[in-house]
């Protein structure tokens, strides 16, 4: 089975540019999660969706960040405008809606904002 697929794997761009990260969850999973990993804050949840609907976005750092899930097989995380402090590894994870089942992670997007 294909796992969670994220693209791009690496992104380097200049401050002020728009950045779009993409995620394809595991087929059949109803929940999708976006995480950010930094040295200072570790792995932190940004937002999660159930059945394509955003449930909790309290982890989104500010209005420059937005996430969408137009259908069950695709989600985007957008940063506009980007800033150097957004540099981090961004992970997408998906899981079944059944409780007590683990989430499965993609390999992440390493984002560098110059």
The residue ranges that bind another protein (CB under 8 A) are 4, 31, 33, 42-45, 48, 50, 55-56, 91, 93, 95, 97, 99-108
Strands 10-13 and 109-113: parallel
Residues 6+ apart with CB under 8 A from 88: 36, 37, 38, 111
Q: Which is nearer to another protein, 74 or 105 (CB)?
A: 105
Question: Shortest approach of another protein to residue 23 CB, angstroms?
Answer: 11
Residues 6+ apart with CB under 8 A from 42: none
Question: Shortest approach of another protein to residue 103 CB, angstroms?
Answer: 6
Alpha helices in the chain (DSSP H): none
Q: Which is nearer to another protein, 15 or 43 (CB)?
A: 43
Q: Which is nearer to another protein, 58 or 71 (CB)?
A: 58
Report yes or no: 19 and 13 within 8 Å, Cβ to Cβ.
Answer: yes
Question: Shortest approach of another protein to residue 107 CB, angstroms?
Answer: 5
């Amino acid at each position: 089975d294909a796992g969670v697929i994220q693209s791009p794997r690496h992104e380097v761009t200049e401050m002020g540019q728009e950045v779009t990260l993409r995620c394809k969850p595991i087929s059949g999973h109803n929940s999708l999660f976006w995480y950010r990993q930094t040295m200072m804050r570790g792995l932190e949840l940004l937002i999660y969706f159930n059945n394509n609907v955003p449930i909790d976005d309290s982890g989104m750092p500010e209005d420059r960040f937005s996430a969408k899930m137009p259908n069950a097989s695709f989600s985007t995380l957008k940063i506009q405008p980007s800033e150097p402090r957004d540099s981090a590894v961004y992970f997408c994870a998906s899981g079944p809606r059944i409780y007590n089942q683990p989430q499965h992670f993609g390999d992440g997007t390493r984002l560098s904002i110059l």
